[in-house]
């Protein structure tokens, strides 16, 4: 499947020869910062080509590319944003390159488990943090959790949507400090008691804020995230090579090292 995806990716694009000295222009979801920074470094070491990296919520990146901002490789935290660019004739086919899922991160001192998570999220005294839907897929995934909760307890969807504090991922949202995990800071400061965010935040948060707990969502509420990769029309051959490197076994191993499910790796 990965080879088919690569063939489609390469065949459908109008490739621009570009300059030998120009870096690859990567636009990527913020949740990919650690993994794609390491992948970019490995690519530069092996191929001598630098990668200029821009990390932001995928919806905002999609809007920027749609509006004409120069980009070559777009790595999104969902499939729909790059697919919308492809549909608009601005990018090539979209390849699934990583998977993630949503977890609940809990501020220190709160006795919350998988079994009582929904009740605690519904508790009026609990501050529930999410990212911003439409701008950031993490917010969309959180609202999918709320929709699933409706089947468990009537009225949950409306109650959770009404109380959700959309603290990250929007055009004017607070930005993370360099080298810091924003969700950990928000929870440690008490701006939220529970934050629904990608499970791949576990590593950074545990290092910076060891008192913050990760709680897995029950199967009835679980929501997965498929990450899509595309080349923007006019991308250079080096950018195509970088996209192929992300999909290569080495790139996929780095993604797995950072907590992602890497569909390009062989099953053990």
Q: DSSP for 34-101, please give it.
A: HHHHHHHHHHHHHH---EEEEEE-HHHHHHHHHTT---SEEEESSSHHHHHHHHTTSB---EEEEEEE
Is there a single domain that holds both residue 27 and residue 122? no
265 inside domain? no
Is there a single domain that holds both residue 205 and residue 236? no
Over range 136-141, report the average pLDDT: 98
Residue 11 has pLDDT above 50, yes or no: no
157 inside domain? yes
123 inside domain? yes
Is there a single domain that holds both residue 82 and residue 135? no
82 inside domain? yes
Q: Sorting pLDDT into bands at 50, 70 and 90, what band is 268?
A: low
pLDDT at 3: 52
Is there a single domain that holds both residue 212 and residue 160? yes
Over range 209-237, report the average pLDDT: 97
Is there a single domain that holds both residue 20 and residue 86? yes
Is there a single domain that holds both residue 87 and residue 115? no
Task: Quote the domain boundaries for residue 25.
Answer: 2-99+225-257
The gap from C-alpha 72 to its chain's centroid, in whole angstroms, comes to 18
Is there a single domain that holds both residue 173 and residue 188? yes
Over range 219-231, report the average pLDDT: 98
Over range 237-260, report the average pLDDT: 97
159 inside domain? yes
> Which letter does DSSP use for residue 267 in this model?
P
267 inside domain? no
Cα distance between residue 144 and residue 112, in whole Å? 21
Over range 196-210, report the average pLDDT: 96
Segment 94-118, tens digit of pLDDT = 999 999 999 999 999 999 999 999 9
Residue 173 has pLDDT above 60, yes or no: yes
Quote the number of domains for the chain: 2
pLDDT at 179: 83
The gap from C-alpha 255 to its chain's centroid, in whole angstroms, comes to 12
pLDDT at 59: 98
Is there a single domain that holds both residue 60 and residue 150? no
Over range 169-184, report the average pLDDT: 92
Give counts: helices (H), strands (E), the chain: 11, 9
129: CATH: 3.40.190.10
Long-range contact list for 118-122, CB < 8 A, 24+ apart? 118/149, 118/152, 118/153, 118/156, 118/218, 118/221, 120/194, 121/149, 121/160, 121/194, 122/153, 122/156, 122/159, 122/160
Is there a single domain that holds both residue 114 and residue 204? yes
CA triplet 8, 9, 14: central angle to 5 degrees?
110
Is there a single domain that holds both residue 95 and residue 108? no
CA triplet 242, 73, 71: central angle to 5 degrees?
130
Q: Sorting pLDDT into bands at 50, 70 and 90, what band is 266?
A: confident
Is there a single domain that holds both residue 13 and residue 66? yes
Residue 201, both tokens: 């935040």
40 inside domain? yes
Cα distance between residue 1 and residue 263, in whole Å? 10
Quick one: CA torsion of 134, 230, 84, 62, rounded to 10 degrees? Answer: 40
CA triplet 99, 72, 174: central angle to 5 degrees?
65
Q: Which residues of 54-85 are buried (b: 16+ CB within 10 A; e: fewer)?
A: ebbbbbbbbbbbeeeeebbbbbbbbbbbbbbb
Is there a single domain that holds both residue 146 and residue 177? yes
């Amino acid at each position: 499947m990965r080879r088919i995806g690569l063939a489609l990716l390469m065949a459908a694009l109008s490739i621009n020869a570009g300059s030998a000295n120009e870096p690859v222009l990567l636009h990527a979801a913020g949740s990919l910062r650690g993994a794609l920074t390491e992948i970019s470094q490995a690519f530069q070491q092996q191929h001598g080509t630098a990668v200029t990296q821009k990390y932001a919520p995928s919806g905002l990146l999609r809007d920027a590319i749609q509006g004409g901002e120069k980009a070559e490789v777009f790595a999104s935290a969902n499939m729909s944003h790059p697919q919308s660019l492809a549909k608009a004739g601005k990018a090539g086919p979209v390849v699934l390159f990583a998977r993630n899922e949503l977890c609940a991160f809990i501020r220190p001192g709160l006795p919350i488990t998988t079994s009582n998570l929904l009740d605690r999220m519904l508790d009026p005294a609990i501050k529930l943090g999410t990212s911003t839907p439409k701008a950031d897929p993490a917010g969309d995934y959180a609202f999918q959790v709320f929709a699933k909760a409706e089947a468990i307890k009537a009225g949950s969807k409306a109650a959770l949507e009404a109380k959700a504090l959309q603290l990250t991922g929007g055009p004017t949202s607070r930005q993370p400090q360099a080298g810091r995990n924003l969700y950990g800071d928000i929870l440690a400061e008490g701006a939220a008691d529970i934050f629904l965010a990608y499970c791949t935040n576990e590593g950074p948060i545990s290092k910076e804020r060891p008192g913050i707990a990760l709680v897995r969502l029950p199967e009835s509420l679980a929501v997965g995230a498929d990450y899509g990769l595309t080349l923007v029309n006019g991308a250079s051959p080096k950018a195509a090579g970088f996209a192929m490197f992300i999909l290569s076994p080495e790139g996929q191993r780095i993604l797995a090292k950072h907590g992602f499910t890497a569909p390009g790796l062989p099953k053990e």
